[in-house]
């Protein structure tokens, strides 16, 4: 096994692209190192990206935010600007692991681990976040929901690295929220999760919405019909009931020891409803 710590993205991409065996990227390592210790993987090459300039920083411009691939979730929690504009995204990031893990884990690693139950991904999908990808063919940007294609699998080609997650500047009267259900009070994997992002007009009517569900299908679901149930209306009881019904019907869960299909469908509707209520209040709705 080879371990390298490149100082440039070009070097990292070249090493990954030229590796004849299996290769892995090390950012926080909270997923990679656990899987290695458990004997699930044994990479021929580990590329540690933490020394690459800019990947450990949160950038803020007039257009929005750029969260580098090596930014630990604890740092996101300390960003006043990010908390103010995207509280739902930060809420989700702060649920990954323990306090100790928070100092290492990253949302890019959470995304690339491609778990259907990843906490940060539904919130990012609801937020309309994009992944900035660098590879042998240059740079490209894709929607976050296009990265995971199945449990443990991503759409990234050989040699490609996600360098940052991009979030747009919030429109006025906007709000987002993320909620999950877990068997314990903390440090557990989501049985069901929901992220909701809303923008209101001056009368409190929803004019745009995104609703995402986690842990109820092989990948996070962006439920467009759920968004349609909210758009053009205030968040009244009828809209919330319709939202819950659509979200329950959109689920494609499995039965396992942590929850049944029926239970997950029911909880998906409940969480979507609660997350929408919080997002609506954060957007200034009454």
pTM for the predicted model, two decimal places: 0.95
Phi, psi of 256 (to 5 degrees): -150, -175
- Model confidence band, residue 206 (pLDDT cutoffs 50, 70, 90): very high
pLDDT confidence of residue 114:
95
Q: What is the pLDDT of residue 258?
A: 83
Interval 100-104 mean pLDDT: 92
Which pLDDT tens digit goes with each residue over 69-78? 999 999 999 9
Question: Quick check: helix, strand or coil at residue 211?
Answer: strand
Give CA angle at 155 (150, 158), nearest 5°: 130
In the prediction, which pLDDT does 8 show? 96
Burial 168-185 (b: 16+ CB within 10 A, else e): eebeebbbbbbbbbbeee
Structure tokens at 120: 């940060």
Identify the pLDDT of residue 199: 98
pLDDT value at residue 138: 96
């Amino acid at each position: 096994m080879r371990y390298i710590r490149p100082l440039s993205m070009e070097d990292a991409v070249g090493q990954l692209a030229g590796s004849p065996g299996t290769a892995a990227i090390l950012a926080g390592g909270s997923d990679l190192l656990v899987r290695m210790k458990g004997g699930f993987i044994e990479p021929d090459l580990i590329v540690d990206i933490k020394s690459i300039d800019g990947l450990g920083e949160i950038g803020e411009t007039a257009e929005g935010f750029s969260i580098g691939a090596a930014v630990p979730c604890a740092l996101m929690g300390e960003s006043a600007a990010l908390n103010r504009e995207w509280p739902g995204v930060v809420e989700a990031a702060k649920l990954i692991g323990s306090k100790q893990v928070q100092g290492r884990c990253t949302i890019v690693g959470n995304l690339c681990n491609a778990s259907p139950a990843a906490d940060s991904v539904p919130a990012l999908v609801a937020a309309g976040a994009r992944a900035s990808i660098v590879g042998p063919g240059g740079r490209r940007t894709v929607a976050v929901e296009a990265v995971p294609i199945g449990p443990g699998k991503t759409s990234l080609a050989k040699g490609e690295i996600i360098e940052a997650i991009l979030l747009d500047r919030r429109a006025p009267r906007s709000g987002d929220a993320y909620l999950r259900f877990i068997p314990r009070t903390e440090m557990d994997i989501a049985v069901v999760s929901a992220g909701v992002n809303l923008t209101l007009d001056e009368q409190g009517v929803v004019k745009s919405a995104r609703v995402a569900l986690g842990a109820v299908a092989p990948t996070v679901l962006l439920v467009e019909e759920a968004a349609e149930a909210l758009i053009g209306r205030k968040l009244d009881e009828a809209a919330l009931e319709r939202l819950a019904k659509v979200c329950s019907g959109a689920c494609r869960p499995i039965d396992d020891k942590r929850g049944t299909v029926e239970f997950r469908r029911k909880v998906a509707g409940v969480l979507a409803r609660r997350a929408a209520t919080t997002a609506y209040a954060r957007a200034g709705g009454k």
